[in-house]
């Protein structure tokens, strides 16, 4: 496939392509389980960091830094902040787990969203953080430890089929995907082909089906990917609505984004497109993310 396949799907396509070819800035969030923004930000600025706070949120674009990588500081080792693209914060923010909630993070490693959810939950309640990859689970454990998260249990299993033995208030399914929204960061050259998207879509549907099985009545499930192709996004969410009986929620989001895609090639996604959220690199200076908030 070629990026041109998305010309009719993505608004301001020329700007999108130009932005995809620019290096992606780093972002960070302050880990308020360990330190306040008011304490940490001046401390990093004294070291030479230039940070731009975004929309009054705990999300800072790093405009300049005195180190090669934003993780190369004592403050990072102490778990005072987490380097995370702003687009990647949104699924957890939209799931918005509360203190005391019982939450399942079905594909959790390396824990960017698990650790953000722990912060939103003020380290109370429980997060069951699952992943299938041993290596990535090591990174998940290291991040949970570094950030001082004490309400997460790590488990290893296949999210397409694993029984978790409980029903949850909230579930995050940040699904494995072809990752087109991260190509800017990695400057990858090869776009996935159609069969890659179709194969991933089938796996994602299995995961969504298993997620629905583990959600309490009235519970909220956020589905997200960091890829643009609608077969991995709108198609999966439409399956959730039509086949699993989930409802797609209307979300008010006060940051630049686009709605879902209505159709692509021979596929149509009219049932869900209006309520899906697409974050593109040329709207805020980030990677890409597509999100749906679903209710049982
Ligand atoms: C998009 S990444 C998750 C990123 C993570 N949520 C975060 O914010 O740090 C997708 C994850 O799915 C995991 N994965 C892939 N197939 C899986 C499966 N069948 N069951 C569970 N996890 C799986 C991968 O190991 C990978 O860590």
Q: In this model, does residue 190 exceed pLDDT 90?
A: no
Instruction: Give residue 10's pLDDT band: very low, low, confident or very high (50, 70, 90).
Output: very high
Domain 25-84 and domain 86-295 have a common topology = no
Ligand 1, atom nearest to 225 Cα? 1
Left, alpha or beta for 48 (phi > 0: left; psi -120 to 50: alpha)? left
Q: What is the pLDDT of residues 23-67, one digit of tens each?
A: 999 999 999 999 999 999 999 999 999 999 999 999 999 999 999
Residues 13 and 281: their CA atoms lie apart, in Å, by 11
Pocket residues: Cβ below 6 A from ligand 1: 88, 107-113, 130-133, 136, 158-160, 174, 176
Question: What DSSP letter does each residue of 253-273 carry, written as one string?
Answer: --SS-EE--SEETTEE-TTTG
Task: Give domain limits for the chain.
Answer: 25-84, 86-295
Q: How many residues does the chain have?
A: 296
Q: What is the pLDDT of residues 168-187, one digit of tens each?
A: 999 999 999 999 998 887 76
Ligand 1, atom nearest to 113 Cα? 8
Q: In this model, does residue 255 exceed pLDDT 90?
A: yes
Identify whether 226 is a catalytic site residue. Answer: yes
**CATH 3.30.70.1170 assigned to 25-84:** yes
Q: How far does residue 176's CA lie from ligand 1's centre (Å)?
A: 5
Q: What is the pLDDT of residues 108-125, one digit of tens each?
A: 999 999 999 999 999 999
Q: In this model, does residue 2 exceed pLDDT 70?
A: yes
Q: Which CATH class is domain 86-295?
A: alpha beta
Ligand 1, atom nearest to 177 Cα? 1
Catalytic residue among 20, 226, 284, 289: 226
Which of 107, 120, 182 has the most ligand 1 atoms within 8 A of CB, as the residue to mutate?
A: 107
**Residue owning the nearest CA to atom 2 of ligand 1:** 176
Beta-bridged to residue 64, according to DSSP, are 50
Task: Select the more confidently predicted residue: 172 or 1.
Answer: 172
Q: What per-residue confidence (pLDDT) applies to 189?
A: 63
């Amino acid at each position: 496939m070629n990026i041109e396949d998305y010309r009719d799907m993505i608004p301001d396509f020329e700007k999108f392509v130009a932005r995809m070819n620019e290096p992606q800035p780093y972002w960070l969030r302050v880990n308020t389980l360990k330190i306040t923004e008011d304490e940490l930000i001046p401390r990093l600025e004294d070291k030479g960091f230039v940070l731009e706070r975004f929309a009054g949120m705990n999300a800072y674009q790093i405009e300049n830094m005195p180190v090669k990588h934003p993780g190369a500081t004592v403050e990072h080792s102490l778990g005072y902040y987490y380097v995370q693209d702003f687009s990647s914060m949104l699924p957890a923010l939209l799931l918005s787990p509360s203190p005391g909630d019982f939450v399942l993070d079905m594909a959790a490693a390396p824990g960017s969203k698990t650790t953000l959810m722990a912060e939103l939950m003020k380290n109370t309640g429980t997060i069951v953080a699952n992943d299938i990859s041993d290596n990535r689970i090591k990174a998940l454990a290291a991040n949970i430890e570094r950030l001082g998260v004490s309400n997460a249990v790590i488990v290893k299993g296949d999210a397409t089929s694993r029984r978790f033995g409980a029903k949850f208030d909230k579930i995050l399914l940040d699904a494995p995907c072809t990752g087109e929204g991260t190509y800017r960061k990695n400057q990858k050259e090869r776009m996935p082909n159609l069969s890659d998207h179709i194969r991933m879509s089938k796996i994602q549907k299995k995961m969504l089906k298993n997620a629905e099985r583990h959600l309490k009545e009235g519970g909220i499930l956020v589905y997200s990917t960091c890829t643009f192709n609608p077969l991995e996004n709108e198609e999966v969410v439409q399956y959730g609505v039509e086949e699993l009986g989930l409802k797609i929620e209307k979300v008010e989001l006060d940051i630049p984004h686009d709605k879902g895609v209505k159709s692509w090639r021979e596929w149509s996604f009219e049932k869900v497109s209006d309520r899906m959220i697409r974050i593109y690199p040329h709207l805020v200076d980030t990677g890409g993310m597509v999100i749906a908030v679903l209710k049982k």
